Structure 1
Amino acid sequence: MQQTIALWQHRYRKYTHLLKVYLHFFKVYTQIIFLKIRFLGKRKIVAIILTQQFGDIVAGEPIARQIRQKHPDDYMLWVVKPVFKELVEDNPNLDGIIEEFCANQRRLLLNSGIFDVVYNLQFRNNSHCPICQIYVENPVADARNVTIHNYYFQGNLLTVQQKMAGLPLEDLAPCLFLKDEHRKKIDKLNLPSRYIVVHGQSAQNSRNWDNTKWETLINYLLQSTDYTIVEIGLSSDLNLKNDRYINLCGQLSILETGEVIRRAKLFIGIDSGPAHLANAVGTYGLIMIGKLADFTNHIPYSGKYKSGENALIVRNTDGPSADIPVNKVIDALNQHQLL
């Protein structure tokens, strides 16, 4: 009986999800049809497909500028997951966004031919809906020999996206579109004027330092400087009690986090989304990067983080960034007089 109940619960979730997929598809399809009627062929509908990994979206912001130059009078849409829409919804180079319900909905839109021009920046491996059991292929990227297995051999994230889109390879720094509401929210926190931001947890465990390393580094910073240490991210398991340690994890939106980083003296973190925020807002960063699959000396960033003008990369070419010793980071901070 329990197996039967579980089977029918699974079927209910799956078919309910599929119904929502088609409802979302038809909603967007109808909206674009009305746009085409309104434009009477005078404006093309251009879609940028980059739905997730918010660091990738931040790194790819210059793509919208390049595509706008190529399509000055066309109607540009960015397809994105709702949780990341704040990163693109106020981009002045876009006319709108499409909130993606799941990868299958995106597949239906692409296959429908509703878009006049598509810039698909998404790999197959992060274009999967486990409920629909659907992967969305990217034959254009495959034809240009850009795959999940070789992309970092071809450049940073922006360069890879430019190659996938067939755009000029320009080293453009990303921008973040902060508004007064983000500044006012952070004003209310009454943060001190001098602080260092740290970020230590990503979705990929191999990048994450264990708590002991972070506690050792933060205690060193508290004892050796007069800076307050502000931790950001989704969550924290650190056991720290100090008046100059502030835990903001789980309390801020992405752009509010960007504003906190913008005001900081220094950003110290692993290679993850907030590091891309630091690059976009111009805060000097010490970034820990380890070996990733076959990539050992890759650089994810463009602009001054790529050139090293505004960032110091601490590497582990033999293994993950989780294995980087605390002393190596402390020595880098002191040798480059970052404190």
Structure 2
Amino acid sequence: MQKFIALWQHRYRKYTHLLKVYLHFLKVYFKIILLKIRFLGKRKVVAIVLTQQFGDIVAGEPISRQIRAQHPEDYILWIVKPIFKELLTNNPNLDGIIEEFCANQRRLLINSGIFDVLYNLQFRNNSYCSICDTYVENPVADAKNITIRNYYFQGNLLMVQQKIAGMPTDDLAPNLFVTEAHRTKVNSLQLPDKYLVVHCQSAQNSRNWDSTKWETLINYLLEKTDYHIVEIGLSSDLRISDKRYINLCGKLNLLETGEVIRRAKLFIGIDSGPAHLANAVGTYGVIMIGKLEDFVNHIPYSGKYKSGENALILRNTEGPSAEIPVDDVIKALHQHNLIPFSHQLS
């Protein structure tokens, strides 16, 4: 009986989900039909497909400028997961945003032919709905032999997107569209004038230092400088009781986090979404990057993080960034005079 109940619960969830997929698809489809009727053929409907990860979306912001330059009078939409919508809401190069319900809904939209021009920048590996058991292919990327296995051999994240879209591979720094509301929220936090931001955890464990390393580094910075340390991210497992340590994990949205980083003297973190925020807001970054699959000396960033003008990349070419020693970070901070210390290393 338990197996029978479990089977029908699974079927109920699946078929309810599928019904919602088609309802969401039809809602967007007919909305675009109405747009086309209103435009009377004078404007094309252009879609950009990049639904996740949020670092990829921040890195890819310049492509919206390039696509707008290619389609100055057309109606440009960006398909994105609802959780990342805020990154695009105030982008002046977009006319609208389509919130993705699931990858299968996106597949239906792409295959419907409703868009006059489509820039699909999403790889197959992060285009899967487990409930629908459906992948979304990207034949354009496949035809250009750009896959999840080789994309960093093609350049940074923006350059990969530009190549898939057929855009010029210009090295453009990303923008972040912070509003007065975001600045007001950060003002309400009453942060100190002098602080550093750290980001300690990503969704990929191989990139993460363990908490002991972060605690060692942060305690060293608290002891040897007069800066406050602000931790950002979704959650924290650090045990630091110093009054100059401020834990903002889970308390801010993405653009508020970007504004906190913008006001910081320095950003120290792993290669993850907040590092892209730091690049976009122009805060100097110390970024730890390790070997990733077959990628050894890859650089995810464009602009001044790519050139090294506004970032110091600490690499582990033999393994993951999780294995980078704390002493390497401390020595780099001293050697590059990134912040004033109360003493210098002997």
TM bin (shorter chain): over 0.9
Please name the residue that 1:117 is paired with.
117
For residue 3 of structure 1, report the CA deviation from its aligned partner: 1.0
SS at match of 2:269: strand
Instruction: Quote the residue 1:295 is aligned against.
Output: 295
Distance 1:84 1:100 in 2: 10
Give the TM-score taking structure 2 as reference length: 0.98
Quote the offset at 1:245 in angstroms: 0.0
Matching residue of 1:208 = 208
Q: Which residue of 2 aligns with 1:128?
A: 128
Per the alignment, in what secondary structure is the counterpart of residue 252 of structure 2?
Answer: coil
Compute the displacement of 1:314 (Å).
Answer: 0.3
What's 1:16 paired with?
Answer: 16
- Residues matched between the structures, number: 339
Deviations 1:79-133 (A, max 9, x none): 0000000001110000000000000000000110000000000000000000000
| 1:188 alignment counterpart | 188
**Which residue number corresponds to residue 91 of structure 1?**
91
Letter of the structure 2 residue corresponding to residue 280 of structure 1: A
SS in 2 for 1:198: strand
The match for 1:327 is 327
Q: Please tell me whether residue 270 in structure 1 is matched to residue 270 in structure 2.
A: yes
Alignment of 1:59-78 (within 5 A): 59-78=59-78
CA distance in 2, matches of 1:227, 1:116: 53
1:259 and 1:9 map into 2 onto residues whose CA distance is: 44
Task: Specify the alignment match of 2:105 in structure 1.
Answer: 105
Which residue in 1 is equivalent to 2:217?
217
Superposed displacement of residue 4, structure 1: 1.0
Q: Distance in 2 between matches of 1:199 and 1:120?
A: 30
The whole-number CA distance in structure 2 between the counterparts of 1:198 and 1:4 is 50
Identity of aligned residues (%): 79
SS class of match (1:15)? helix
CA-CA distance at 1:145 after TM superposition: 1.2
Deviation per CA, 1:226-246, whole angstroms, max 9, x where unpaired? Answer: 000000000000000001000
The match for 1:143 is 143
4+ long deviations beyond 3 Å: none
Per the alignment, residue 242 of structure 1 pairs with 242
Letter in 2 for 1:305: Y
AA in 1 matched with 2:236 = S
What 5-or-longer segments of structure 2 have no aligned partner? 340-346
Q: State the alpha-carbon separation in 1 of the partners of residues 229 and 90 from structure 2.
A: 30
Name the CA distance, whole Å, in 2 between partners of 1:154 and 1:110: 25
> How far, CA to CA, are the matches of 1:17 and 1:337 in structure 2?
55
Q: How do 1:19-34 residues align onto structure 2 when only pairs under 5 Å count?
A: 19-34=19-34
Q: 1:285 maps to which residue?
A: 285
State the match for 1:257 in structure 2.
Answer: 257
Amino acid at match of 1:89: T
Does structure 1 residue 7 correspond to structure 2 residue 36? no
Distance 1:204 1:59 in 2: 18
CA–CA separation in structure 2 for the residues paired with 1:9 and 1:28: 29
In the TM superposition, what whole-angstrom CA distance separates every residue of 1:149-202 from its partner, at most 9, and x where no partner exists?
100001000000000000001000000000000000000000000000000100
In structure 2, C-alpha distance between the alignment counterparts of 1:228 and 1:6, rounded to whole Å: 52
TM-score, scaled relative to structure 1: 1.00
